Structure 1
Amino acid sequence: MEKKRIVILGAGESGVGAAMLAQKEGFDVFVSDFGTIAGQYKQHLEDLGIRYEEAGHTDGLILNADEVIKSPGIPEKAPVVQALREIGIPIISEIEFASRYTSAKTICITGSNGKTTTTSLVYHILKNAGINVGLAGNIGFSFAAQVATGNFDLFVLEISSFMLDDMYDFRADIAVLLNITPDHLDRYDYKLANYAASKMKITNNQRSVDYFIYCDDDEETLKAMQLTAIKAIKCPFSIQHEVENGAYLDGSQIVFNLQSKDPLTMSISELALQGKHNIYNSMASGIVANVLEIRNDMIRESMGDMKNIEHRLEHVARISGVDYINDSKATNVNSTWYALESVNTDVILIMGGVDKGNDYNMLKDLVKQKVRAIVCLGKNNKRIHEAFEDDVEIIVNTHSAYEAVQVAYHLAKKGNTVLLSPACASFDLFQNYEDRGNQFKVAVKEL
């Protein structure tokens, strides 16, 4: 019998992981990448004897697939995707594919902001509780690779809207939706409703015994929920009002009041991750832990000793009385809003990069209150100048992390904060947000 042919588009962490699992499951596997494949991934494919091509897609090797696994970064409008759609070859995500070959339970976390922090915190709590848990998706290692090589009882998955777009039969045992704010609108015809519908796919196929955890303060989430049939048990969280079967803020105390559990009350001063946005992230994480019946003392301890994530409001150094903070992971306007909201000093803001159709209006009040100068870090900074020229006296263009840090150093006064929080993607000057953050840190350490 002829082997079923699986073609994988994209040879990064997700694509190579999918190739490993497809080979293990006995498929005829071929990997195609439009760009060049990074050294370690190429080596991995060669070690496994998996055929691949790079620097272009060959139609004859792709359009004969039984099924295609597409890396999340490849847009729907890519010619190869259009050609596959035209002839009706199914296209799925790596998460969808991997889920077919594991019986592990899944906790799936999505949202425009806070995904990585919440995913890491949930993983931290579960690991501390002695659960055999894997971490995958947008964070850590590929889900498919871990299904191929490991044997976890449970996975915590950070899920982006791009992954959700190519998921059909996948089901989350516990789904978490943190918030919906404008992001990646260039991939959704510049319509927030399209992006919101994509986020709501996190609830697809859930049953009445599964859980859906969501923010009851987030207008866009509540709007999208009205358009979605949700079968799962709903667990809301709020800092604005009391909720049932979820978590809420009572003064400075977070109250977890799930029906199936002993109530847990925790002061926000006990949280390792501070700031309003992290109260939300901690609430969502605590509800997950409650649902999984982790002991209250273990939840409290883990939430109290969690370390902040690299590139997310990461304190780099204090030099001559000035704090330098790396928030390179802030690739949308809302993330930068959170960053500015959490800083209590005057700010020299380093921002810019690839603008994804950003609306900078929501930053204006905070910029007026806190920002002394903006240092642009990107090839085209016109829209940042237009947005803030009436609010900030100094807006300077720079073209490297080193130059941006040097300029910020000269503009900052004792007691200020230099904040890298770009509100944009990084691909104009850097490989990715990690590269941008790392270059920023190196430049700070050279001061």
Structure 2
Amino acid sequence: MSNLVVLGGGESGVGTAILGQKQGYTVFLSDSSKIKDTYKQTLIHYNIPFEDGGHTEFKILSADIVMKSPGIPDTAPIIQKLLQKTMPVISEIEFTSNHSTSQTIGITGSNGKTTTTMLTHHLLENGGLNVGIGGNIGKSYALQVAESSYTSYVLELSSFQLDGIVKYAPQIAVITNISPDHLDRYEYKYEKYIDAKFRITMNQTEEDYLIYDADNEATANWLSSNTTKARLIPFSIKRTIENGAYLSKDGKSIVINIDEQDLIIDTENISLQGKHNYKNSMAALIIAKILKIDESSVRSSLKTFQGAEHRIERVLNVRGVEYIDDSKATNVNSVFYALDAMKTPTVWIVGGVDKGNDYSEITELVKEKVKAIVCLGVDNKKVIDFFGGVVDKIAEAKSMVDAVNTAQGFARSGETVLLSPACASFDLFKSYEDRGRQFKDAVRELRE
């Protein structure tokens, strides 16, 4: 009986521990931090041994296989010791796929992957497929394989999850786009981050598909100098695509052309508006077309889909000012799409833990759209230095309530306050979700 050690006691780790036990492994879970009570109770229920607040090295180093949760970097001392022993250290995705015969659709990218994953699942589920959703979203893929019987899974995959795959190959892979993000995990080398994203296709065969953004420079450059066996299906909002998807020249319809079979969708019939969402919709529509989902079901599903929370999410209109929660925007490219979607003068709340941001790509948009900036972070120097000569009004805030109140002071009726931080949240908040919820709470207080 093989020894499985699971590092990390969150959703991914606990799900893997349960699946491992079901598959006959001797399982031990270890977390250097405190495990949440809900996960502890789950482990106790399944009688899975665990520890938190530190690692017992001899137990971990005696494993036959180690599953590392995506939040743990390779530079962590315990991981370094495992790698020196040439111990297999894999991700939940790799471990789970080895114990499942279900089809997977893997979706990665710097931005748009959550929305694309949710929309794809929505289209496929409404189209009659027995389909689960997991990866970086919802219940863990491992737990669902252990407890459910889905024939297909739509998986949102981060670069961290892809770093830990060896043989995993999705039948359909999507790279929504690539822009600099998480460079602190990749030695601040953009090419290493790009390579991590493309691991999604490294094991694909001629029978598989890779769907990608033909407008994205990093993606196009990688494909021009590397090969994949998968069938390439591009999408674009800038040019006509012969076998893939594109936006009509008048911008009024999306055309999906797969194997000379057209599906034309009027953009006004898509619930998610904005150019970035047209791209997300194209990727999902290509998948639906490949899997032969009924056309009438696809059309009705596009109208009813609700987007991801904290992603250009309208909160409230308070005294004529629109408040938009885009807390999920943890990199500059996400902010680009958010600012591009703004139709009125905007007060931009930005800041947090900088991951190596280059703000130059949004300078012109900031000049055009932003009337004032509120910096929300422990260290705001980089934002202030960069935009000091671009925007006249810049203020600092150390709490969300302070940031929202300051933004309200800058905004006038008919304008917008946008939380789109471009940074990680961990200096002042538990997560981007916590940051978004605090923003919404603070906005609701304005209405009282």
TM range (shorter): over 0.9
- Secondary structure (helix, strand or coil) at the match of 1:152 reads coil
Q: Classify the secondary structure of the residue corresponding to 1:257.
A: strand
Query: How far has the Cα of 1:106 moved from its partner?
Result: 0.5
Correspondence 1:257 to 2:257: yes
Matched position secondary structure for 2:258:
coil
Match of 1:75 in 2: 73
Which of 181, 188, 211 in structure 2 is aligned with 1:183? 181
Contact 1:272 1:307 in 2 (8 A): yes
Shift of 1:282: 0.6
Q: What's the counterpart of residue 271 of structure 1? A: 270
> 1:409 is matched by which residue type in structure 2?
Q
Q: How far off is 1:137 after superposition?
A: 0.5
Show structure 2 runs of 5+ residues with no match.
Answer: none
Spell out, residue by residue over 1:114-139, the C-alpha distance to the aligned partner (whole angstroms, 9 max, x if none): 00000000000011112110000011
Counterpart CA distance in 1 for 2:310 and 2:321 is 18
For 1:232, the aligned partner's letter is: A
| AA at the equivalent of 2:257 | N
Aligned to 1:155, what secondary structure does the other structure show? strand
Offset, 1:222:
1.1
Q: Secondary structure at the match of 2:436?
A: helix
SS of the residue aligned with 1:424?
coil
Per the alignment, in what secondary structure is the counterpart of residue 56 of structure 1?
coil
Structure 2 distance, partners of 1:245, 1:94, is 33
| Rounded Cα–Cα distance in structure 2 between residues aligned with 1:387 and 1:34 | 37
Match of 2:393 in 1: 394
Tell me what 2:370 maps to. Answer: 371
Q: Name the counterpart of 2:149.
A: 151
- Quote the residue 1:406 is aligned against: 405
Q: Deviations over 1:297-320 (max 9, x none)?
A: 211211122112111011100000
Equivalent residue for 1:246, pick from 244, 254, 261: 244
- Partner residue in 2 for 1:41: 39
For 1:22 and 1:396, the matched residues in 2 are separated by: 51
SS in 2 for 1:234: strand
3-state SS, counterpart of residue 127 of structure 1: helix
Tell me the equivalent position of 1:311: 310
| Residue aligning to 1:110 | 108
Which residue does the alignment assign to 1:351? 350
- AA paired with 2:63? A
What is the DSSP-based 3-state SS (H/G/I as helix, E as strand, rest coil) of the residue aligned with 1:195? helix
Deviation at 1:393, TM superposition (A): 1.5
Counterparts of 2:437 and 2:20, CA distance in 1: 34
Counterparts of 1:258 and 1:315, CA distance in 2: 35
Match of 2:132 among 124, 131, 134: 134
Per-residue deviation, residues 355-392 of structure 1 (Å, max 9, x unmatched): 00111111211111111111111111111111100011
Equivalent-residue separation in structure 1 for 2:393 and 2:220 (angstroms): 39
CA distance in 2 between counterparts of 1:44 and 1:393 reads 53
C-alpha displacement at 1:210, in angstroms?
0.9
The equivalent of 1:427 in structure 2 is 426
Aligned counterpart for 2:167 among listed residues 160, 169, 183? 169
Tell me by how many angstroms 1:85 deviates. Answer: 0.5
Bigger Cα displacement from structure 2, 114-123 vs 361-370: 361-370
Q: For this pair of structures, how many residues does the alignment match?
A: 444
**2:204 match:** 206
| Paired residue type of 1:205 | N
Give 2:118's aligned amino acid. S
Moved more, 40-49 or 145-154: 40-49
Q: Is the 8 A contact 1:381 1:397 kept in 2?
A: yes
Give distance in 1, aligned partners of 2:40 and 2:391.
47
Quote how far apart the aligned CAs of 1:28 are: 1.0
The one-letter code sitting in structure 1 at the alignment partner of 2:367 is K
Alignment partners' CA distance in 2, 1:324 and 1:254: 29
Deviation at 1:226, TM superposition (A): 2.6
Q: TM-score, normalised by structure 1?
A: 0.98
Aligned-partner residue type, residue 48 of structure 1: Y
2:193 is the counterpart of 1:195: yes
CA contact (8 A) 1:350 1:376 kept: yes
Pairwise CA distance, 1:428:
0.9
Alignment correspondent of 1:293: 292
**Among 5, 8, 12, the residue aligned to 1:7:** 5
Residue deviations 1:395-443 (CA, integer Å, cap 9, x gap): 1111111111111112211111110100000111111111110111111
CA distance in 2, matches of 1:257, 1:100: 34
How many Å apart are 1:228 and its aligned residue? Answer: 2.8
Unaligned runs of 5+ in 1: none
SS in 1 for 2:134: strand
Shift of 1:76: 1.1
The question of whether the paired residues in 2 share the 8 Å contact of 1:348 and 1:371 is answered with: yes
Do 1:200 and 1:228's aligned partners in 2 also have CA atoms closer than 8 Å? Answer: no
Q: CA RMSD in A?
A: 1.0
**TM-score normalised according to structure 2 size:** 0.98
Task: Name the CA distance, whole Å, in 2 between partners of 1:158 and 1:386.
Answer: 35
CA displacement 1:8-60 (0-9 Å, x = unmatched): 11111101111110111111111111111111111111111111111122211
2:118 matched residue in structure 1 = 120
Q: Distance in 2 between matches of 1:136 and 1:272?
A: 23
Which amino acid is the alignment partner of residue 433 of structure 1? Y
Contact 1:200 1:225 in 2 (8 A): no
What corresponds to 1:281 in structure 2? 280
| Contact 1:69/1:92, CA 8 A, preserved across alignment | yes
